[in-house]
Structure 1
Amino acid sequence: MREDNVRKIWSEAELDAALSDLHGDVDEDGGLAFARASLMAAAGSAEAPPAAPRRGTWRWIAVAAAVVTLVGGLAVVTSLRPPAPEPVRPAATLADLDRPLEPGEFHYAQKLQWLRENLEGHPADIQQKVELWIPADPTGIWHRRTKWTGAVKGLSSDEQKKLHVSQAPFDEYGRGGWFPGPPNVGGTKQPTWNTPFQNWLTPDAAFIASLTADRAKLGKRLNFDTISFHDNGKAHTATEALSMVRRALETGLVRKDIRFGLRDAFAEITGAFVVPGQTSDGRPATVLGAKDTGQRVFLDPATAQLLAWDANSGSTPVPTRSSEVAMSTSRNPPVSSSVSGPPSTPTTTPDAPFPPPSAHDPETVYSFAITRVSG
């Protein structure tokens, strides 16, 4: 479906009616007006979305004229019009992600990871997707969407037949990157800590803005910044420092010079190593590793963008520090054979880690892009 014939199919009245059906609880002055204006703008109308949409207006993502689809690391904008989506234009390649954002554009990050869950009394690994949209002004509203992909490993064929995995998304919104849930404890002080608490493991806009490209300063922070209520003044282990680097880079918001600074600073951490290598799918990578656990992070050699994370060092699951949390503090949608009700309570807090994946799970994979309100 071409952009030049959207208006021929959707009149303004029909568009309002369709949006009302999709989101009857969104008022015309809020999300409906914003989504309608976004669609009309995508169709070539001069009508523009309201300058400051309310929090609920993020629902345009479900009904906007286009969305970002990631194919082999390339973000491609695709139409949502039936009968089938068609590519419209490439949004960004990995090397283009450091350009300044234009009005209406967002940093987009996607994380695909395997988590251990108890499904109908049986332990299994289930794949989760976490998506993050950050506006051009990072102090604005961030949008995070968490869902199961439906992929499950570790169950018998009979167990698989009985299982129903809810793929309904769970959406969260947080100003400046701080989402509902545990309080923001950044800046909190205790006598046994080297520094006030720093949000390395739940990075928000203020924390990202505090990072510098100075390798010496970054090295000192990776060693001694307080990242857990259990910190007692000792230097961090290589695995802890690797988690700090990975969590910051997961946002897709860290500048290129700072990404390279983090890479170089990590190389100076006791028990760390930085070597050339490749991801499991054969892409060239700079590998950041921790000798104490065997965890590895894979960076693009040319941009230092995060490509993947491998938490598996062999036959023994890698232990995680008590402060390990998800991309910020995302909650998991329910998974059961009879799914109903709202998303489950958070499975992670700053003091409760994800259960480690089984020893031979594939690595966590990341993708980044630049996208727009209308596509």
Structure 2
Amino acid sequence: MREDNVQKIWSEAELDSALEDLNTDVGDDDGLAFARASLLAAAGVEEAPPTRPRTSGAWRWLAVAAAVVALVGGLGVAAAVWTPDPPETSRPAGPAADPDRPLAPGEFHYAEQRDWTTYFGKTFAIKAERRVELWIPADPTGVWHRRTSLTAQPHWADGRSAEPLPEPVDEYGPGGVFPGRPNFSGETKPFWNTPFTNWLSPDAAFVASLVPDTEKLLKRLRFDTVDVKDPGQGRAHSATESLGMARSALATGLLRPDVRFALIDALAAIPNILVVPQRTTPDNRPATVYVAKETGVRLFVDPATARLLAADISPATVITGRTEVPISTGVPPPSSVAPTTTTTRFPVAPDRQDAPDAQYFYDITRTSG
């Protein structure tokens, strides 16, 4: 935060006036939402992604929230009105007019995933917001750039904060094949239904193999081999497994519109997947929700573009600074506010109101990060 972003210091009279406005304008239902927003704003947790516009009204209420937290906490400090830092040139500066348009020379497809992850330091564990950014050149067989970073203010699980969060991790993969990733593509075993395919770690070759044919995609979602431990022998994937395959492919932001629409039509035809139209994401983007009946796992898809907007993810990813801690554990929190306990999944109604684990955004950038 830069000093020139501080516009004014609140006087007692201005604070009283703001609090009076708050009490008169916010109803009982809105009060809970505003209290949550206030705590997030004061903690510095909420950071708007590149494709979400900000309004002056939102910043005015952020200032009120900060002032309220300062008084209630007895911190004895003045609250200020903040203005956002300008966007970095390597990231989208605003909503793209059409992320599906042909790229100009030097431009990149940009996809961003935001979720919550567990980070283990030497003496502490935290829930922190994670951002995974992906830049793909106009020629997908070129070098992909993936950056993983922990952003905003973490939620401390044990009250310790002696160690800094890790720096962002940058990875580069020719054609989307990143170092350290086992690549079994094309391998086969006698009992597998098909040769191995990279649904769960999509690269340029895999994306090119997807065709806008609903029947072919339906068969692939049900029977393609995606795990070396796949029992095969004619076994079809569960609805949850098929949703996970589609999520990974859609999250690249690289699928053509005709392929995306064929893919979600294939999802709708899978047994035990329920389609719930006219829903919204936590940031109020219109969505159609695809739900696995056996687990309640969901995909939120834009009905106009067939782009992935949000999803439930299982299992969660754990980032660690200790070699003795396993790489993966548990299930991610089904909320935009990171809890301090693990949540267990169970079959639930498809119109449940809890937020999905991850949200996705797409754009076109002029640089690769």
TM-score if structure 2 supplies the norm length?
Answer: 0.65
- AA in 2 matched with 1:198: T
Matches within 5 A, 1:264-343: 264-276=265-277, 277-311=279-313, 320=315, 332=319
Matches within 5 A, 1:138-287: 138-153=140-155, 155=157, 159-166=159-166, 168-233=167-232, 234-276=235-277, 277-287=279-289
Equivalents in 1 of 2:130, 2:361: separation in Å?
14
Equivalents in 1 of 2:50, 2:207: separation in Å?
25
Give 1:367's aligned residue: 361
Equivalents in 1 of 2:280, 2:97: separation in Å?
18
- AA in 2 matched with 1:303: T
Give 1:26's aligned residue: none
Give 1:291 deviation, angstroms.
1.0
Change (3 A) 1:345 1:99: farther
Change (3 A) 1:238 1:278: same
Q: Please, which of 85, 101, 106 is the counterpart of residue 99 of structure 1? A: 101
3-state SS of 1:151 partner: strand
1:116 and 1:355 in contact (8 A); partners too: no
Aligned residues: 268
Equivalents in 2 of 1:92, 1:368: separation in Å?
10
Change (3 A) 1:148 1:245: same
Q: Which runs of 4+ in 1 moved over 6 A?
A: 86-92, 344-347
Equivalents in 1 of 2:268, 2:119: separation in Å?
34
Change (3 A) 1:133 1:346: farther
Equivalents in 2 of 1:101, 1:345: separation in Å?
44
| 1:262-316 deviation line (CA, Å, top 9, x unaligned) | 11100111111121111123221011111111111111111011111134xxxxx
Matches within 5 A, 1:80-119: 85=86, 93=95, 96-119=98-121
| 1:183-220 deviation line (CA, Å, top 9, x unaligned) | 31100100111100000000000000000111000000
- AA in 2 matched with 1:72: R
3-state SS of 1:70 partner: coil
- AA in 2 matched with 1:268: A
Change (3 A) 1:142 1:345: farther
3-state SS of 1:192 partner: coil
* Unmatched segments (≥5 aa) in structure 1: 1-68, 75-83, 312-318, 337-343
Tell me if 1:72 matches 2:52.
yes
3-state SS of 2:211 partner: coil
Equivalents in 1 of 2:87, 2:98: separation in Å?
23
Give 1:50's aligned residue: none
| 1:109-140 deviation line (CA, Å, top 9, x unaligned) | 11111123444565542221111110000000
| 1:34-61 deviation line (CA, Å, top 9, x unaligned) | xxxxxxxxxxxxxxxxxxxxxxxxxxxx
Change (3 A) 1:180 1:90: closer
Give 1:231 deviation, angstroms.
1.3
Give 1:155 deviation, angstroms.
2.4
Give 1:148 deviation, angstroms.
1.1
Equivalents in 2 of 1:87, 1:147: separation in Å?
15
3-state SS of 2:114 partner: strand
2:143 and 2:176 in contact (8 A); partners too: yes
Equivalents in 2 of 1:114, 1:212: separation in Å?
33
Give 1:222 deviation, angstroms.
0.3
Equivalents in 1 of 2:258, 2:161: separation in Å?
49
Matches within 5 A, 1:126-137: 126-137=128-139
- AA in 2 matched with 1:105: E
Equivalents in 2 of 1:264, 1:90: separation in Å?
30
Equivalents in 1 of 2:299, 2:200: separation in Å?
15
Change (3 A) 1:227 1:86: closer
1:212 and 1:258 in contact (8 A); partners too: yes
